[in-house]
Amino acid sequence: MSWKDLVSQLVDKEILKTPDIIRAFNKIDRANFMTENTKKLAASDVAFPIGFGQTISQPATVAFMLEKLQPRAGNKILDIGFGSGWTSALLAELVGKTGEIYSVEIIKKIYETGKENVKKQNYKNVHFFLGSGSQGLPKFAPYDRILVSAAANELPLDLKKQLNSGGKLIIPIGGITQALILVERKNKNQFSEVHYPGFMFVRLKN
């Protein structure tokens, strides 16, 4: 099965719905962000190891998160735990030349590999930072969207504070299995939360 075949399956299952997100998935083949020995399995809808106990996420999970987040052209987005760089590339495509992606990764070797993977795709609107994303990146806040690809025990208040009014955050919260929590900032002091159970991510490191 090809990568485009998998994308078509995700569309048929109505996991992928938004035209711009479907287009980004079709354009950005996950194989370009995988290790040499797993590239040929890129069109499998499962997570794969990328070293140091980290993974490149299952396509259906990334599709689900992006559909809930709804990145738009011109958005400023914080991508925490960017790993292989695949999510950063998808986000860079979605925000276009007028948007900016701020990508954070704590493991140095993975940071270097992920950064190189994204640069090979010729995106100029991604800024890379080595370190923990658990406190976000306050220097460049506020953000229109925050994507977190590692699980925390509880919702980090620092991340909520770094959302723009109308901004959205998606993050896995929990122990062995987690719920994806979609947070939307309604105004300065009001937030909404929706919980989607049944996910499994690596842990968010401090």
The set of catalytic residues is: 57
The C-alpha atoms of residue 146 and residue 168 are separated, in whole angstroms, by 6
The C-alpha atoms of residue 94 and residue 51 are separated, in whole angstroms, by 27
Amino acid at the residue 154 = E
Are the beta carbons of 152 and 172 closer than 8 angstroms? yes
Distances from the Cα of 104 to the Cα of 56, 57, 82, 169, angstroms: 15, 16, 6, 15
The C-alpha atoms of residue 165 and residue 60 are separated, in whole angstroms, by 28
